[in-house]
Amino acid sequence: MEQLAPPGPAAASPWRSKCPWGSSPSTVTPCSLSDVMSEELANELQQQEENASFPHVIGIDTPVLIGEGTETSSDLLLAQMLQMEFDREYDAQLRREENKFNGGSKVSISFENFRMVHPFEDSESSDDEVDWQDTRHDPYGPEEFFCAADKPAANAKRGFVGKGREITTKHDEVTCGRRNTARMENFAPEFQVGDGIRMDLKLPNRVFNALKQHSYSEQRRSTRIHEKKEHSTSDQAVDPKTRLLLYKMVNAGILESVNGCVSTGKESVIFHANGGSMDNKIVPAECAIKVFKTTLNEFKHRDKYIKDDYRFKDRFGHLNPRKIIRMWAEKELHNLTRMQEAGIPCPEVVMLKKHILVMSFIGQDQVPAPKLKDVKLSSEDMKRAYHQVLYMMQQLYTECKLVHADLSAYNMLWHMGKVWFIDVSQSVEPTHPHGLKFLFRDCKNVSQFFQKAGVADAMNERELFNAVSGLDVPGDNEVEFAVQIEALEKINEDHIQQVGKRGKISEFEIPAQD
Ligand code: ADP
Ligand code: MG
């Protein structure tokens, strides 16, 4: 916005006669009455005056708000000028009062916020304030600007077009204004710039710079807020939505209370809760609430578990990331249910609500059962634990048609003198394209753990793999064995391609060794 100033007494010009407050011009040459009444003469004199004052705007037929000596026949314009003058006087008075109030005191109080005239309108305009480096997308950049010139390429370097008095430089007010308006498109998308871009709006440099600064600081501020929000989700997993869901569960009486956090992992946070009651189900006295984190980073590397799981395959492609996270929770529910049915010791599912899975708590009095890696067991118990794990893995494979896919001493708890399997959201069926590879990895973890723990009976990973799967994969070392597993997975994939459905891996012929 250009500054407006009311025409003062010094600005004597022929069109002052139209001003309600102006005095009659004294500089007009005396002429006859008919001449005085001639509109043509009046216009001519006006034009002469304008040309003398603004030689550079020759040819621009509708002068806009520029400053003193401007056309004042529009009521709106007059009103704006008066308002501006009023504001200026108000501000001057405010400044006087501010000075009086603060006096010589070292600590002063600013009245800035009460000013009428916007600070941007007060500041000095300067070409230097514009960041001319900002050329990400500039529809009024050199090429566009100079395309109207006679010799665009040659002129572009000179930074001006036209000849003599009609020269237009890149600093031309109108050109700069339009260029600034167009540059608003480069502001962050969330920064609303209104309809200005589509109008022939000429934005002065100082206004553009102020807007740009504002857009940058707004962008930084919103990024900070966003990060904070995301963080709260990832660190405590109790973003407002999760809190609301938990609150609803307590409100519905399913849970009596939600207590402290038991564990924070990469992908989930576990809370302890006191169970309430449900119409159709007995709710355990102590519950574990697994809240799957709503931040996606950690889940990205887990895509392979769910993407190729035929149970979820059809849905995977169409889902947004948040729904995929819910799918993890759903996957854990399905897998736990299968395990329950097979009688494998594992948490019992109470309910699933979006990304929140409620299950029975493995432990007592809010103290979770220790992980197998942390518990000190007698050699007898360790041996018993090993045989139990072997049996549970077999059950999981043959009865539940599942491979844990993250089985280690971290995901096995020791409770009431036996091993419990937990954390089965990533578990897949053996016919999953990488199901056997996952099983081999599980076997490696289990075998190494029990061998290190001194269980003499503990099989090596290859023996364990065959004992669990019922396959008879040959291979004297790990590398050979891994090659065989890959070949089996390939046969499995080919079979699915040909027959259109999954077969039983144990029925496939093991490829002969070279
Ligand atoms: P993550 O995917 O983050 O590893 P887990 O399901 O393994 O999640 O749970 C993390 C930890 O929370 C476990 O190691 C265990 O200590 C505790 N935990 C998980 N589920 C239960 C449960 N049902 N009862 C008791 N503790 C549990
Ligand atoms: Mg775990």
pLDDT tens by residue, the chain, 514 residues: 444 444 444 444 444 444 444 444 444 455 556 655 566 666 676 666 656 554 444 333 333 333 334 444 566 667 777 777 788 888 889 889 988 888 888 778 888 777 776 443 433 333 333 333 333 333 333 343 333 334 444 444 455 666 666 666 666 777 777 777 777 766 665 566 666 666 677 788 888 888 888 877 776 666 665 555 444 444 444 788 888 899 999 999 999 999 999 998 778 999 999 999 999 899 999 999 999 986 655 555 566 666 666 566 555 555 667 788 888 899 999 999 999 999 999 999 999 999 999 999 999 999 999 999 999 999 999 999 999 999 999 999 999 999 999 999 999 999 999 999 999 999 999 999 999 999 999 999 999 999 999 999 999 999 999 999 999 999 889 999 999 999 999 888 887 777 766 666 655 555 554 4
Torsion angle (degrees, nearest 10) of CA 100, 104, 107, 109: 10
- The pLDDT score that the predictor gives to residue 491 is 85
b/e per residue 225-251 (b: at least 16 CB within 10 A)? eeeeeeeebbebbbbeebeebbeebee
CA distances from 332 to 143, 327, 401 (A): 59, 9, 14
pLDDT in tens, 361-400: 999 999 999 999 999 999 999 999 999 999 999 999 999 9
Closest CA to 350 of 292, 407, 290, 406: 290
- 236-368: which CATH topology? Phosphorylase Kinase; domain 1 (3.30.200)
- Our mutation pick for probing the ligand 1 site, out of 236, 422, 424, 426, counting the most ligand atoms within 8 A of Cβ, is 422
What are the strands, taking DSSP E only, across 295-396? 349-353, 356-360, 363-364, 367-368
Closest-approaching ligand to the CA atom of 407: 2
Closest-approaching ligand to the CA atom of 406: 2
Q: Using an 8 Å Cβ cutoff, are 408 and 461 in contact?
A: no
Q: Give the residue whose CA is nearest to atom 18 of ligand 1.
A: 270
Structure tokens of 164? Answer: 């003599």
Closest CA to 118 of 2, 282, 266: 2
Q: Give the residue whose CA is nearest to atom 12 of ligand 1.
A: 263
Other residues' Cβ atoms within 10 Å of the Cβ of residue 103: 7
Q: How far is the CA of 409 from the centre of ligand 1 (A)?
A: 12
Q: How far is the CA of 239 from the centre of ligand 1 (A)?
A: 20
pLDDT in tens, 174-213: 777 777 777 776 666 556 666 666 667 778 888 888 888 8
The finding on whether 270 has its CB within 6 A of some atom of ligand 1 is yes
- Our mutation pick for probing the ligand 1 site, out of 259, 270, 364, counting the most ligand atoms within 8 A of Cβ, is 270
The finding on whether 362 has its CB within 6 A of some atom of ligand 1 is yes
**Which atom of ligand 1 is found nearest the CA of 410?**
14
Q: Give the residue whose CA is nearest to atom 23 of ligand 1.
A: 361
Closest-approaching ligand to the CA atom of 424: 1
The finding on whether 292 has its CB within 6 A of some atom of ligand 1 is no
CA distances from 326 to 15, 255, 290 (A): 74, 21, 12
Q: How far is the CA of 265 from the centre of ligand 1 (A)?
A: 8
Query: Considering just the CA atoms, what is the radius of gyration of the chain in Å?
Result: 40
Q: How far is the CA of 230 from the centre of ligand 1 (A)?
A: 22
- The pLDDT score that the predictor gives to residue 497 is 76
The finding on whether 265 has its CB within 6 A of some atom of ligand 1 is yes
Q: Using an 8 Å Cβ cutoff, are 309 and 428 in contact?
A: yes
Closest CA to 405 of 306, 278, 476, 293: 306
The set of catalytic residues is 406
Closest CA to 411 of 289, 291, 275, 265: 265
b/e per residue 147-161 (b: at least 16 CB within 10 A)? eebeeeeebbeeeeb
* Superfamily of the domain at 370-514: Transferase(Phosphotransferase) domain 1 (1.10.510.10)
Q: Give the residue whose CA is nearest to atom 5 of ligand 1.
A: 423
Burial of 457 (0-12, 13-18, 19+ CB in 10 A): exposed
The finding on whether 50 has its CB within 6 A of some atom of ligand 1 is no
Structure tokens of 26? Answer: 């004294």
Q: How far is the CA of 496 from the centre of ligand 2 (A)?
A: 31
The finding on whether 464 has its CB within 6 A of some atom of ligand 1 is no
Phi then psi dihedrals of residue 169, to 5 deg: -95, 175
Which residues touch 375 (CB under 8 Å, ≥6 apart)?
414
**Which atom of ligand 1 is found nearest the CA of 360?**
23
Q: How far is the CA of 423 from the centre of ligand 2 (A)?
A: 5
**Which atom of ligand 1 is found nearest the CA of 269?**
3
- The pLDDT score that the predictor gives to residue 437 is 96
Q: What count of Cα atoms within 13 Å lies in the side-chain half-sphere of residue 475?
A: 24
pLDDT in tens, 407-458: 999 999 999 999 999 999 999 999 999 999 999 999 999 999 999 999 999 9
Q: How far is the CA of 270 from the centre of ligand 1 (A)?
A: 6
SS3 helix, strand, coil % of the chain, rounded to 5? 50, 10, 40
Q: Give the residue whose CA is nearest to atom 10 of ligand 1.
A: 263
The finding on whether 422 has its CB within 6 A of some atom of ligand 1 is yes
Q: Give the residue whose CA is nearest to atom 25 of ligand 1.
A: 362
The secondary structure of 389-440 as a DSSP string is HHHHHHHHHHTS--B-SS-STTSEEEETTEEEE---TT-B-TTSTTHHHHHH
